[in-house]
Amino acid sequence: MGRSPCCEKAHTNKGAWTKEEDDRLIAYIRTHGEGCWRSLPKAAGLLRCGKSCRLRWINYLRPDLKRGNFTEEEDELIIKLHSLLGNKWSLIAGRLPGRTDNEIKNYWNTHIRRKLLSRGIDPTTHRPVNEPASAREVTTISFAASTTKNEAEQCITAGINLSSKEENSPVFERCPDLNLELRISPPYQQQAQEQLKTGGRTASLCFGCTKQQRL
């Protein structure tokens, strides 16, 4: 059973929002907050779908929205975040206050892609377009066992490869404790034959016992 629709589609307005509808939505949210978008249209006296109200508020009516063209600093930040996060527009928008994910996605497709191509950079891989295939290496971000969660998140944000830290760093000298108590069992077929001879008991060889016998 699928999820029920958020409203009766047949009795809702479609198309461009009017100024009166915008004012009603703004006034309601200022007084009562966003709340549940499914019930908000009826409470605010709007013949609109709950999804339509949510998108209208988030993308156009929020008071903290940033208007106007993107700055050069915002362009470079978007490029850097896209090289790390890919097409995760909501995460990228979280680092650009006042900008929406839909706005950033549209801006990327209409402006920044062309800007990167004019620089000779592939907007998907963020590498030179004419770079030989043999010269392309996969860049990985590796984490040491003793690296804290906060350090890892900071390095992901900055695009740093943690393995490039100095080898003498005390943080990377520590290794997790290893359990070296190992046992070697005969191959499966030989083990099955031994079980028949010993009445079902499994024969195993212990390193510690072998060492003592040799001594």
Q: Tell me which long-range contacts 160-167 makes (C-beta under 8 A, separation of at least 24).
A: none
User: Distance between CA 168 and CA 98 in Å, rounded?
Assistant: 43
Beta strands at 183-184 and 205-206: parallel, antiparallel or unpaired? antiparallel
Count CB-CB contacts under 10 A for residue 53. Answer: 26
Domain with 154 in it: what CATH number?
1.10.10.60
Q: Based on the domain organization, do 95 and 16 belong to the same domain?
A: no
The conformational region for residue 200 under phi > 0 = left, psi -120 to 50 = alpha, else beta, is left
User: Distance between CA 171 and CA 193 in Å, rounded?
Assistant: 50
User: For position 187, what pLDDT does the model report?
Assistant: 53
Closest CA to 160 of 146, 139, 175, 144: 139
Q: What confidence tier does 122 reach under pLDDT thresholds 50, 70, 90?
A: very high
User: Distance between CA 76 and CA 71 in Å, rounded?
Assistant: 9
In a domain, 193, yes or no: no
User: Both tokens of residue 11?
Assistant: 């009795």
Q: Based on the domain organization, do 56 and 73 belong to the same domain?
A: no
User: For position 168, what pLDDT does the model report?
Assistant: 43
In a domain, 137, yes or no: no
In a domain, 135, yes or no: no
User: Distance between CA 126 and CA 124 in Å, rounded?
Assistant: 6
In a domain, 139, yes or no: no
User: For position 182, what pLDDT does the model report?
Assistant: 47
Residue 42, pLDDT > 60, answer yes
In a domain, 46, yes or no: yes
User: For position 115, what pLDDT does the model report?
Assistant: 94
pLDDT, one tens digit per residue, over 151-176 is 545 544 555 443 344 334 444 444 44
pTM over 0.75: no
Q: Based on the domain organization, do 102 and 154 belong to the same domain?
A: yes
User: Both tokens of residue 54?
Assistant: 């949510």
**Domains contained in the chain, number:** 2
Domain that residue 18 falls in: 11-61
In a domain, 117, yes or no: yes
Q: Based on the domain organization, do 91 and 48 belong to the same domain?
A: no
Residue 126, pLDDT > 70, answer yes
In a domain, 110, yes or no: yes
Q: Based on the domain organization, do 98 and 152 belong to the same domain?
A: yes
User: Distance between CA 185 and CA 34 in Å, rounded?
Assistant: 65
In a domain, 97, yes or no: yes
Residue 18, pLDDT > 80, answer yes
User: Both tokens of residue 184?
Assistant: 């070697």
User: For position 142, what pLDDT does the model report?
Assistant: 43
pLDDT, one tens digit per residue, over 58-117 is 889 999 898 889 999 999 999 999 999 999 999 999 999 999 999 999 999 999 999 999
User: For position 165, what pLDDT does the model report?
Assistant: 41
pLDDT, one tens digit per residue, over 128-142 is 988 776 655 544 444
User: For position 143, what pLDDT does the model report?
Assistant: 41
User: Both tokens of residue 133?
Assistant: 């295939």
